[in-house]
Structure 1
């Protein structure tokens, strides 16, 4: 049985490593995609995982599948399609390492996953099913995602959700809000950023977390605060954990996904229902996740930036 199965995008992040006199960047190709980053952290920290998604039958698609296999992430749910190209994301970094994205995705392979291509056996055989919103930005992947969520819920699986808002991929903000709201209503565990809470409701992270618990039926919330750390909450209480200081940030790509996967790995070790975690247990889970995510920003990329657990423990 897999601990966690995720559905969604597997793509190539092109990150700038230098620039010429005119400002044109030299780019380095990195394996990425939020679900892939999420699972890479889980796999690195002792969990068994698999991904459901689609890549092109091209060089990048084969590289990505090989990368997951090398990490031990199950790839039996990944479809290779010769009719579409593997999705590409071009990353722009500011002086503090914060990133923005431009996507070559009209369509990209990840948007073309069809309902009949889902490997439902993986959903039968897992503890947690995870998804985000990039697979909800268009059809047929949206219908496939909705079908997978419905199936997993029917099988009694824990549902994990990350809004992972990327505004350029939506036709307008109303469409983004509608799909994020749908995802939040499905979830037991949510990792959401302070910026996403503000985008949805104009609330503080603390108020947003309480809204999710009381109005959406979410059982455990992590509201990340960028470099400041993360707020956490369930029915037993809430709190905040700071990120480690003094690190040299190079690239924040994938840090939120790595936070989510790291937190999930520690949550699963406890063997408890999400709503039964004590404040101390949530704080310990969140502290580990903040450290893992922060350490990942010291190098480029998402999947490849997950640091070994021993390094995280050393910082802790």
Structure 2
């Protein structure tokens, strides 16, 4: 590796968990039912898997238990080529878990065990932080800002990445239950202030609105904050990218048969940031991201739909190329 290149293209940190997925729509949590799993999961882990499969050099900071679920997660991260030197193993607390069910209307409900699991006990020493800070991008997920340990680690890491000339991307993933915690709310607002690339959903952007139209909210963020790129995720309606002084770039979604929507936004972000880190144009990065989000929903399991560039190129070609 050239001395002029950073060690990693992308570093991310946060929750690692084993996920169980209800087998049929309408299945409830308060009666016996069948669940598929365990699947390796966690929003930043899905993001990292997608970015690594795109060829990005990715490192992860997190914590799992000294149990079979921890083995499952570490095996998947390693198989995807992700550097796991900063993933700890807690001898006292178990690996985090999540159970997900699907309502008849397609909405999802989750039961998480994160607060009292290894996922909430991540820590990295100074030497580890210095190693991780040698990157092009630090990617932060809003879901990872739910424990004091994670908030503190990401704060320390962001400061070091910024000092070394790296950039920060942030997917806020704002949820009402998370925003009820003052520490999490403050941490989300800090990352919004500090990021260079902002990846909100329509609901995230509405949360930041002062009652003005979407375009005015985006213009205000670009004018008042450090961010230079806002990519608005519109789910089945594609995505839209905003930069100061330029017309928005719009990319349509790719129609596919949906089997599991979990992880689609994380795959979108992973493909986008991997493409940008590789020097791809914004238009090409958006196209790959849209294809990654579409492919993700065709597989059951949060990380099972992560895809490599050849798969994405084939999906794009099957729909007539650029959209």
Same structural fold, with TM-score higher than 0.5 when normalized by the shorter chain: yes
The corresponding residue for 2:321 is none
The corresponding residue for 1:196 is 204
May I ask how many residue pairs the two structures share in their alignment? 305
Structure 2 unaligned spans of 5+: 1-6, 317-323
**Out of 253, 261, 267, which is 1:243 matched to?**
253
Q: 1 CA distance for matches of 2:271 and 2:143?
A: 21
1:296 aligns with 2:306: no
CA contact (8 A) 2:144 2:150 kept: yes
Q: 2 CA distance for matches of 1:116 and 1:35?
A: 20
Q: How high is the TM-score relative to the length of structure 2?
A: 0.86
CA contact (8 A) 2:134 2:164 kept: no
Q: 2 CA distance for matches of 1:198 and 1:176?
A: 18
Alignment map for 1:120-135 (pairs within 5 Å): 120-135=129-144
Q: Name the CA shift for 1:65/1:265 in 2 (closer, same or farther; >3 Å).
A: same
The corresponding residue for 2:24 is 18
Q: Name the CA shift for 1:197/1:25 in 2 (closer, same or farther; >3 Å).
A: farther
CA contact (8 A) 1:177 1:200 kept: no
CA contact (8 A) 1:35 1:257 kept: yes
What do you get for the CA RMSD once the two structures are aligned? 2.3
Q: Name the CA shift for 1:51/1:205 in 2 (closer, same or farther; >3 Å).
A: farther
CA contact (8 A) 2:24 2:102 kept: no
Structure 1 unaligned spans of 5+: 272-280
The corresponding residue for 1:91 is 100
The corresponding residue for 1:168 is 177
Q: Name the CA shift for 1:152/1:92 in 2 (closer, same or farther; >3 Å).
A: same
Shift of 1:49: 0.7
Q: How high is the TM-score relative to the length of structure 1?
A: 0.88
1:70 aligns with 2:70: no
Deviations 1:195-253 (A, max 9, x none): 111123255543333232111110111110121111111124222211012x1111111
Which SS does the other structure have where 1:304 is aligned?
coil
| Dislocated runs of 4+, deviation >6 Å | 19-22
